[in-house]
Structure 1
Amino acid sequence: MAAASLPWRYPSPFTKLWQIDASHLDHYNHVNNVAYLSQAEALAWSHSNSLGLQFSDYQSLNRAMVIKRHELDYHLPSHEGDSLQCATWIISCDNRLTLKRQFQFICERRKKTVFEALTTFVCVSLDTGAPKRLPEPFKEVYGNACIEPSL
């Protein structure tokens, strides 16, 4: 199924397909909450990499985007054999210290959102962990990718 035909919250998502297998399930035979969070983390890194930022860039700039807050919404259970289209967008970037990512996972079979998350990231120094301003490459890459929806 084409990701473009799904009911996305915002246009032009960065997407990856996630095939649910037994390793993703909890004791209820639903996708485990932690599996959704792990998938969101992997999706964020894939998106950053596709935008041109690698972890080696973080290291050379002595900066990292670390999570300050997660808001997680589990709408419907997912099961073994489901195919989820997983999307992310950068929805705000203040070009100083923070950015926010929206995530939305849609079950292809049901064409319904099963999971959403909003994550706030803060830029910090890798060596001290102290908050530091976004370096120019972060401003350029993340700022240009920001969709800044009207809320």
Structure 2
Amino acid sequence: MSEQNLQWDHPTPFISDIEVTAEHIDHYGHVNNCEYIRWLEVVAWAHSDALGLTLERYRELDRGMVVHRHEVDYLAPAYLGERLQIATWIERCDGKLTLERRFQLQRVTDGVTLMRAHTRFICVQLSTGKAKRMPAEYASGYGAVALESVF
């Protein structure tokens, strides 16, 4: 199976490639579950960057989207040397305080989905850590690619 033949849960995913290396492997001989969480962060930032919502822009606006809740379903293990692809989508953006992402991780060789995840983010003022309304730039940037339009 090739990358072009992978079956994603939703249309127009943002995709990052992963190659499983020794640093990802745990004492059971497969990818440690903490790596999956790290990959969620990596692909989410790459997607935000592609939308022009970079860490630098977050700092300029004194606003950040921080994780409120992760839900992760580990469906099958990944092993050393495997090529994987992780996809993300903005599921919904309320244009005010919250943003939700979906994720799917697949093995390239056979198209098996190894993990699905859902993350809810809350907008905070970086200087105080307190919840704060998201800037219009976030609402329009994330909202434009959301699977569900809320506002």
For the residues of structure 1 that align with 2:3 and 2:44, how far apart are their CA atoms? 17
Give the paired residue count.
Answer: 149
For the residues of structure 1 that align with 2:3 and 2:145, how far apart are their CA atoms? 19
**What is the aligned partner in structure 2 of residue 12 from structure 1?**
12
Moved over 6 A (4+): none
Q: How does 1:1-150 map to 2 (within 5 A)?
A: 2-148=2-148
Question: Structure 1 vs Structure 2: percent identity of aligned residues?
Answer: 44
TM-score (norm 2): 0.95
Mark the runs of 5 or more structure 2 residues left unpaired by the alignment.
Answer: none
Deviation per CA, 1:100-147: give whole Å up to 9, x if none: 000100001121100111000000000111110110110110111111
Query: Which letter does structure 1 place at the counterpart of 2:98?
Result: T
8 Å contact 2:93–2:142 — kept in the other structure?
Answer: yes
Corresponding residue SS for 2:139: helix
8 Å contact 1:70–1:120 — kept in the other structure?
Answer: yes
Mark the runs of 5 or more structure 1 residues left unpaired by the alignment.
Answer: none
For the residues of structure 1 that align with 2:90 and 2:63, how far apart are their CA atoms? 18
Query: Which letter does structure 2 place at the counterpart of 1:55?
Result: L
For the residues of structure 2 that align with 1:110 and 1:21, how far apart are their CA atoms? 19
Corresponding residue SS for 1:145: coil
